[in-house]
Amino acid sequence: MNKTGNSDTIVGLDLGNCSLNHLDFALNLTESLNVIDISQNPLVDLSQEIFRGLSGLWYIAVPLNLSCPGGNDTWGNVTKTSSALICQDQNSACGTTGNLTLLCPESSMCAPDGPGYTKCVCAPGFTGYKCLREGPFPMLMFFGILGVVTIMLSLFLWSTQRRKVKSQ
């Protein structure tokens, strides 16, 4: 556990020898997680989707019958011990040959998003859908229009529904 400010951040998770048959999405793993041990469990299949977003993961121990998340090529150092397969030093999938990172728009860049995953992040100064809008998000205009429309709709409904109220 790592203490940052007033909050605690979990950086390691030891689920070794816990008789787990499967890993559930309810674990809600955070990107601050660096170390996971799920070795010595009767896991048959390991969903890769659980590890999406774990870009800070640099060590994971999995049962011997499984491969490293994202494939063994995703890791810089893969070691087989008597009880686990140790995957260390996660490689970035950005810029590797045969990867679909070329699908990022022109005003964005590739960023790692967990073992074997990538995501497109807007370059500085760009926002919006496919990072096509240059400059910061127009918050004043957005919330100004939203406020005006809300007030006008409220006044309209108040005036049209007012006749249904009985006066005493």
Q: Read off the pTM.
A: 0.69
pLDDT at residue 40, as a whole number: 93
Q: What is the mean pLDDT of residues 21-50?
A: 86
Examine the pLDDT at 3 and tell me if it is beyond 60. no
Half-sphere exposure of 75 (CA within 13 A, CB side): 19
At 89 the pLDDT is: 94
Residue type, 28: N
- Enumerate helices (H) and strands (E) in the chain, giving the number of each: 1, 11
| Mean pLDDT value across residues 19-28 | 81
The confidence band for 101, taking pLDDT boundaries of 50, 70 and 90, is very low
Average pLDDT over residues 117-130: 89
Report helix, strand and coil shares of the chain as percent, to nearest 5.
25, 25, 50
* pLDDT tens profile 140-166: 999 999 999 999 999 999 888 876 666
Whether the pLDDT of residue 6 is over 70: the answer is no
Average pLDDT score over the chain: 86
Amino acid of residue 109: M
CB atoms near residue 90 (< 10 Å): 25
Q: Is 105 left (phi over 0), alpha (psi -120 to 50) or beta?
A: beta
pLDDT digit string (tens) for 43-91?
A: 988 888 889 989 889 999 999 999 999 898 899 999 999 999 999 999 9
